[in-house]
Amino acid sequence: MAVRLLQNDEDARDAVQDTFEKLWSKDEIESDAEARNKLTRVLRNTCIDRLRTTHTVPLESVETEFDSGYETPTEDMARYERLIVKGLTETQMRIYNLIAHDCLEYEEVAKRLYMSVEAVRMNLSRARKRIRENIKMIDR
């Protein structure tokens, strides 16, 4: 995964080592699934951090011409995400963002929103169902 994201063997090895260092001092892991999820999440975030720091270039040094009628890929993605989450309740949106973007566990989300874990799972399930429906409508 790290090699695929970073496209460099050396950087990938460093990212994996950083990931294990971060997780080594954390709480005990109770199951293989939990270990796999945490490793994947932390490795992905570590790779993203490395990509952000290594490829940062001051804007003054970049010379490009922009067509004012063209939207950047970031704007396209933001618009697409707004379309796929359209129709979610505020609670569903908060849960979706905490789990999908902030990579929190169900228990952490439940504590943060003062809900039961079952309620978080149910709301996320409904949100994902709505998102699938929205994607199908967009693809038509």
Least confident segment among 15-24, 51-60, 107-116, 131-140: 51-60
User: Are the CB atoms for 134 and 84 separated by under 8 Å?
Assistant: yes
CA distance linking residue 99 with residue 95, whole number of Å:
6
pLDDT band (50, 70, 90) for residue 107? very high
Interval 85-104 mean pLDDT: 89
User: Are the CB atoms for 18 and 6 separated by under 8 Å?
Assistant: no
47 pLDDT above the threshold of 80 = yes
Going 26 to 104 to 42 to 47, the CA torsion angle's sign is negative
Q: To the nearest whole number, what is the mean pLDDT of the chain?
A: 80
Of the candidates 70, 68, 69, 96, the residue with the CA atom closest to the CA atom of residue 82? 96
Q: For residue range 51-87, what is the model confidence (pLDDT) as tens digits? A: 777 554 555 555 555 455 555 567 777 787 888 888 8
Q: For residue range 110-126, what is the model confidence (pLDDT) as tens digits? A: 999 999 999 999 999 99
Of the candidates 41, 3, 40, 43, the residue with the CA atom closest to the CA atom of residue 21? 43
- Secondary structure of residue 103 in the 3-state scheme: coil
- Structure tokens, 117: 């874990």
pTM of the model: 0.47
Please calculate the CA angle 8-14-16 and round it to the nearest 5 degrees.
100
136 versus 108: the higher-pLDDT residue is 108
